[in-house]
Amino acid sequence: MQLGELEKQVLEYLWKAKPADAKQVHSYFEKNRGGSLNTIQSTLERLFKKDLLSRVKNGHAYQYFPKVARHELIGQLIKSVTHDFVVEDENSVVAAFSSISSDLDEDQLDKLEAMIEQQRKKLQTKAEK
């Protein structure tokens, strides 16, 4: 999903502000960057179609608000992007094959840390000689 610069700004504005209709959004952007009411209306419509905004009818106008909070959307994106290439069911065959769990506990991590420290000291002693 691609977002234009104005779409991004409108979305950022709605994440900070309360639900707003096209006129309210326009009055904010008119002061800051100009642009007609029509442009704002079509931007809101596009964001709605992209499933980023929800809307409720209030009188004659729609009140727009973000479908998900900013941090939630980013969280969802991170999850989805990193999930796509994750090897499915890592624990079964892989663990048996490598006999190394990818889910290390604190103790194992401490042991690894100690191993690194030991190597570091060894290297230092070697350098001093």
Partner 1 sequence: MIFGHWALAFNLLTIAVLAFIVANSLVSLAFWSVKNKIQRYTVSTRKSLLWLCVLSPWIIALSVTLLFSPLFQSGAMFVWLTELAHWHHPNIYYFLSWHSISLLLFIGFSLTIAVRSLVVAYKNHYQIILLRTLATKKSENVFIIDSSIPTAFTGGLIKPSCFISTGLMEQLDSDDIEIIIQHELAHLHYADPLKKWVFSLLSSYFSPNVKQILKSMMAITMEQAADSFFVKTQQQAHNVASTLVRFTKLAAKYSIHEQFKSELLVHFCRQSIEQRVVELLNETQLKAFPMKLVLLTIILLAVISMTSVDSLHHAIETLFDH
- Interaction site with partner 1 (CB under 8 A): 1-3, 8, 70-71, 73-75, 77-90, 92-94, 97-98, 100, 102, 104-106, 108-109, 112-113, 115-116, 119-120, 123
44 burial via Cβ count (<10 Å: 0-12, 13-18, 19+): buried
Nearer to partner 1, 52 or 62 (CB): 52
Amino acid in the structure at residue 76: Q
How many alpha carbons lie under 13 Å from residue 22 in its C-beta half-sphere? 19
Nearer to partner 1, 23 or 122 (CB): 122
Nearer to partner 1, 36 or 110 (CB): 110
